[in-house]
Amino acid sequence: MSGLRVVPGRRGGRDRLYVCRPDGSRIAWYDRAAGRVDLLAEDERDRVLDVLKPFLTGPVAVGPPPVPTAAELTRLALHPDDDLAPNRPGEALLIALDRDPGTGHRLRPDPRRRALLAEQTVGDVLDGLEGAGWLALHSLPLPGGDRVHHLLIGPGGLFAVHALYARRARVRVADPMVAVGRRAAEPLLRRLRAQTDRAAYALTAEVRPVLALTDPSGVTLTAAPRGIRVLSTGDLPGLARLGGVLKPADVAALHAVARDRRTWEKV
């Protein structure tokens, strides 16, 4: 027996299998999506590959972790309190519900829980685009208590994505008003444009707004909303087909800026 253990984990939106010594220290990890085993201890190569053998699929590159880029070094220099990358989808709502769970009344469900489900659903879809060169950040705080639900950065540019719970409901959009089911219409598109403008100011880059609807029964548009994409969660992966705007180095650099809490403090 090698004494090594394989422990599943997740980093940067990707699933990993970590290889650990009996004391818990990591000596390697396998990223299936990248087809790579990163070794921290070259002399453990044979034992690492032996313990990972049942999990390896297809051709796999093996070697030391890549040298960090300038953007990665900037990220590593962030104080943990200023780093927004670990934020989970719906992070602000998770914290609010933890502090005040509410009554949980069956006939009057807490609207925060539906909003949380929407952000989690949309966030999972956006995180799944990482293999296509896209990076997502979640629950970015803006001064005044507002938030950018999700910021998606990739070859096709930057998108501020607002998640809206619409399960089995018909959505009616009459710019700037949005109505879900029998609920009263709200000027949601005006709010989304304002959030997007603040994000563009903070990042000094063009940011485009997206309204993401979670599983609506149907969508009625009186006219195409000015400059806003209205997509269901099933349509969101189509954003990954966009390109020609940012190079990989630009994506990494903008991600490094956007994950810094201080970027958003004066917008």
Dist CA 88 CA 5 (whole Å): 27
Assess contact for 183 and 209: CB atoms under 8 A: no
CA 162 to chain centre: 12
Which residues, 6 or more positions from 145, have their beta carbon under 8 angstroms from its beta carbon? none
Q: How many CB atoms lie within 10 A of CB 176?
A: 17
Q: What pLDDT is recorded for position 12?
A: 60
Can you give the residue ranges of every domain in the chain?
Answer: 5-62, 70-263
Beta-bridge mates of residue 159: 152, 208
- Sheet bearing 147-154, strands edge to edge: 135-141, 147-154, 157-165, 207-214, 229-232
Assess contact for 115 and 139: CB atoms under 8 A.
no
Q: Which residues of 48-71 are buried (b: 16+ CB within 10 A; e: fewer)?
A: bbebbeeeeeeeeebeeeeeeeeb
Query: If we measure between CA atoms, which residue out of 59, 56, 52 comes closest to residue 27?
Result: 52
Q: SS3 sequence, the chain? A: CCCCEEEEEEECCEEEEEEECCCCCEEEEEECCCCEEEECCHHHHHHHHHHHHHHCCCCCEEECCCCCCHHHHHHHCCCHHHECCCCCCCHHHHHHHHHCCCCCCCCCCCHHHHHHHHHHHHHHHHHCCHHHCCEEEEEEECCCCCEEEEEEEECCEEEEEEEEECCCCEEEEECCEEEECCCCCECHHHHHHHHHHHHHHHHCCCEEEEEEEECCCEEEECCCCCCCEEEEHHHHHHHHHCCCCCCHHHHHHHHHHHCEHHHHCCC
Any idea how long the chain is? 267
* All residues at 6 or more sequence positions from 182 whose CB lies less than 8 Å from its CB, including other chains: none
Cα dist from 237 to 123, 212, 242, 252, whole Å: 12, 11, 10, 20
pLDDT tens track of the chain, all 267 residues?
468 999 988 766 678 899 988 877 788 999 988 889 999 888 889 999 999 999 998 889 999 887 667 666 666 678 889 999 999 999 999 999 988 887 666 667 788 999 999 999 999 999 999 989 999 999 999 999 999 999 999 999 999 999 999 999 999 999 999 999 999 999 999 999 999 999 999 999 999 999 999 999 999 998 889 999 999 999 999 999 999 899 998 999 999 999 999 999 988
Give the pLDDT score at 106: 62
Give the pLDDT confidence score for residue 195 in this predicted structure. Answer: 96
Its pTM stands at 0.74
Alpha-carbon dihedral 102, 103, 108, 112, rounded to 10 degrees:
10
